[in-house]
Amino acid sequence: MRNSDQTLIEAARQARERAQAIYSKFKVGAALLGGEGKIFTGCNIESSSYGLTLCAERVALFKALSEGERQFVRMVVVADTEALTPPCGACRQVLWDFCGDLDVMMANLKGNSKRTRLSSLFPDPFGRCFL
Protein backbone atom coordinates (compact mmCIF):
# COMPACT_ATOMS: atom_id res chain seq x y z
CA MET A 1 0.00 0.00 0.00
CA ARG A 2 1.35 3.41 -0.95
CA ASN A 3 2.14 5.98 1.74
CA SER A 4 -0.36 8.38 0.17
CA ASP A 5 -3.00 5.64 0.51
CA GLN A 6 -2.37 5.48 4.27
CA THR A 7 -2.62 9.25 4.50
CA LEU A 8 -5.96 9.22 2.66
CA ILE A 9 -7.30 6.34 4.74
CA GLU A 10 -6.39 8.16 7.94
CA ALA A 11 -8.01 11.38 6.69
CA ALA A 12 -11.20 9.46 5.87
CA ARG A 13 -11.15 7.74 9.28
CA GLN A 14 -10.89 11.09 11.03
CA ALA A 15 -13.68 12.54 8.89
CA ARG A 16 -15.84 9.52 9.80
CA GLU A 17 -15.62 10.51 13.46
CA ARG A 18 -17.38 13.81 12.63
CA ALA A 19 -20.32 12.07 10.91
CA GLN A 20 -23.80 13.18 11.90
CA ALA A 21 -25.37 9.72 11.68
CA ILE A 22 -28.09 10.50 14.21
CA TYR A 23 -30.63 8.02 12.82
CA SER A 24 -28.75 5.18 11.12
CA LYS A 25 -25.66 5.23 13.37
CA PHE A 26 -23.79 4.26 10.16
CA LYS A 27 -20.80 6.59 10.11
CA VAL A 28 -18.87 7.00 6.87
CA GLY A 29 -15.81 9.10 6.09
CA ALA A 30 -14.34 10.00 2.71
CA ALA A 31 -11.12 11.60 1.55
CA LEU A 32 -10.67 12.90 -1.99
CA LEU A 33 -7.22 13.59 -3.39
CA GLY A 34 -7.10 16.57 -5.72
CA GLY A 35 -4.79 16.91 -8.68
CA GLU A 36 -2.44 19.26 -6.83
CA GLY A 37 -2.17 16.94 -3.81
CA LYS A 38 -4.70 18.62 -1.51
CA ILE A 39 -7.00 16.31 0.46
CA PHE A 40 -10.70 17.14 0.83
CA THR A 41 -12.64 15.20 3.46
CA GLY A 42 -16.30 14.57 4.09
CA CYS A 43 -18.59 12.67 6.43
CA ASN A 44 -22.20 11.63 6.08
CA ILE A 45 -24.73 14.12 7.43
CA GLU A 46 -28.23 12.79 8.06
CA SER A 47 -31.53 14.65 8.01
CA SER A 48 -34.74 13.54 9.68
CA SER A 49 -36.31 13.44 6.21
CA TYR A 50 -33.61 10.97 5.05
CA GLY A 51 -33.90 12.16 1.43
CA LEU A 52 -31.96 15.30 2.37
CA THR A 53 -29.12 13.26 3.85
CA LEU A 54 -25.70 13.73 2.23
CA CYS A 55 -23.17 10.96 1.90
CA ALA A 56 -19.53 11.44 2.86
CA GLU A 57 -18.37 11.09 -0.74
CA ARG A 58 -20.57 13.93 -2.01
CA VAL A 59 -19.63 16.16 0.93
CA ALA A 60 -15.93 15.70 0.13
CA LEU A 61 -16.49 16.30 -3.60
CA PHE A 62 -18.67 19.37 -3.09
CA LYS A 63 -16.12 20.85 -0.67
CA ALA A 64 -13.41 20.32 -3.28
CA LEU A 65 -15.48 21.83 -6.09
CA SER A 66 -16.51 24.81 -3.95
CA GLU A 67 -12.83 25.49 -3.25
CA GLY A 68 -11.98 25.47 -6.97
CA GLU A 69 -10.51 21.97 -7.38
CA ARG A 70 -11.28 20.43 -10.76
CA GLN A 71 -8.81 17.52 -11.07
CA PHE A 72 -9.16 14.40 -8.95
CA VAL A 73 -6.88 11.41 -8.43
CA ARG A 74 -8.39 9.09 -5.83
CA MET A 75 -11.19 8.75 -3.30
CA VAL A 76 -11.07 6.67 -0.12
CA VAL A 77 -14.26 5.59 1.66
CA VAL A 78 -14.05 4.28 5.24
CA ALA A 79 -16.83 2.60 7.24
CA ASP A 80 -16.95 0.27 10.23
CA THR A 81 -18.09 -2.82 8.35
CA GLU A 82 -16.77 -6.30 7.59
CA ALA A 83 -17.58 -6.01 3.89
CA LEU A 84 -15.90 -2.96 2.39
CA THR A 85 -18.44 -0.23 1.64
CA PRO A 86 -18.54 1.25 -1.87
CA PRO A 87 -20.14 4.59 -2.76
CA CYS A 88 -23.93 4.44 -3.21
CA GLY A 89 -25.55 4.87 -6.62
CA ALA A 90 -26.15 8.62 -6.20
CA CYS A 91 -22.53 9.16 -5.23
CA ARG A 92 -21.31 7.05 -8.13
CA GLN A 93 -23.26 9.26 -10.56
CA VAL A 94 -21.99 12.53 -9.07
CA LEU A 95 -18.42 11.23 -8.87
CA TRP A 96 -18.63 10.17 -12.53
CA ASP A 97 -19.95 13.60 -13.53
CA PHE A 98 -17.09 15.49 -11.88
CA CYS A 99 -14.23 12.98 -11.59
CA GLY A 100 -14.63 10.54 -14.46
CA ASP A 101 -13.09 7.11 -14.03
CA LEU A 102 -11.72 7.84 -10.57
CA ASP A 103 -9.48 5.50 -8.58
CA VAL A 104 -11.62 4.40 -5.59
CA MET A 105 -10.37 2.72 -2.44
CA MET A 106 -12.67 1.22 0.19
CA ALA A 107 -11.37 0.51 3.70
CA ASN A 108 -12.69 -0.53 7.07
CA LEU A 109 -11.52 0.09 10.63
CA LYS A 110 -9.80 -3.31 10.78
CA GLY A 111 -7.23 -2.33 8.17
CA ASN A 112 -8.76 -4.14 5.21
CA SER A 113 -8.86 -2.25 1.94
CA LYS A 114 -9.57 -2.73 -1.74
CA ARG A 115 -8.81 -0.53 -4.70
CA THR A 116 -10.91 -0.36 -7.86
CA ARG A 117 -11.93 2.07 -10.60
CA LEU A 118 -15.24 3.92 -10.62
CA SER A 119 -15.99 2.34 -14.01
CA SER A 120 -15.95 -1.10 -12.33
CA LEU A 121 -18.45 0.08 -9.72
CA PHE A 122 -20.53 2.03 -12.24
CA PRO A 123 -20.55 0.39 -15.68
CA ASP A 124 -22.33 2.16 -18.54
CA PRO A 125 -22.75 5.48 -16.72
CA PHE A 126 -25.01 8.29 -17.87
CA GLY A 127 -22.88 11.32 -18.66
CA ARG A 128 -22.48 14.57 -20.57
CA CYS A 129 -22.19 12.73 -23.87
CA PHE A 130 -25.95 12.02 -23.70
CA LEU A 131 -26.92 15.66 -23.23
Contact 92, 57 (CB under 8 A): no
Q: Tell me if residue 36 is catalytic.
A: no
Q: Which of 64, 116, 48, 119 is nearest to 85 (CA)?
A: 116
Check if the beta carbon of residue 41 is closer than 8 Å to that of residue 11: yes
Contacts for 62-67: CB closer than 8 Å, 24+ residues apart: 64/32, 64/34, 64/38, 64/40, 65/98, 67/40
Q: Which of 36, 46, 57, 69 is catalytic?
A: 57
Residues labelled catalytic: 57
